[in-house]
Amino acid sequence: MKIDDRVEALVRSVLDAAVHKDADRLAAATASLGDKATVTKAVELSLAVAAAVLFEVHEGMPSADQVTEISRTIAEQERWSGVRAAEVDALLRAISTGSPVVTGSGSASAAVPFVVTANLLAAASQPDEGEWWFNYLDKVEAAIEAAG
């Protein structure tokens, strides 16, 4: 996958707001994505990052039980965003099976891919070893571009 630098910068801004659990900034960053084509590219990038992190952390495809547990954990940790466990579960199941991901149009639903990705990045990074979520994102994006 070739990553568009403009879209990547926008996605990084949305992810930063989600990592910092800043609902107002998340809404503004998501709105700043602009037109439908940019939103589509941003969601595609976010989902590619989420899939890469999910598969790396679980050393392959997570089991159905693992997906259920991850979904509950993310929904609990990200309650501030209005993201529901069922939405997270549907997104993670689609990612883990390669099925199309359908996102809602409400403000919380539209943010699901970004909130999930931000959570996965923050949870999988190693800040005590100097690898913050944004450094981990750099590595993941490099791997995505190399693979595509």
Asked whether 114 and 137 are in contact (CB, 8 A), the reply is no
Q: What is the pLDDT of residues 21-48, one digit of tens each?
A: 999 999 999 999 989 999 999 999 999 9
This prediction has a pTM of 0.92
- Expressed in angstroms, the distance from the first to the final Cα of the chain is 4
Amino acid code (one letter) for 72:
R
**58-87 residue pLDDT tens:** 998 899 999 999 999 999 999 999 999 999
- 109-141 burial code (b ≥16 CB/10 A, e <16): ebbbbbbbbbbbbbebbeeeeeeebeebbeebb
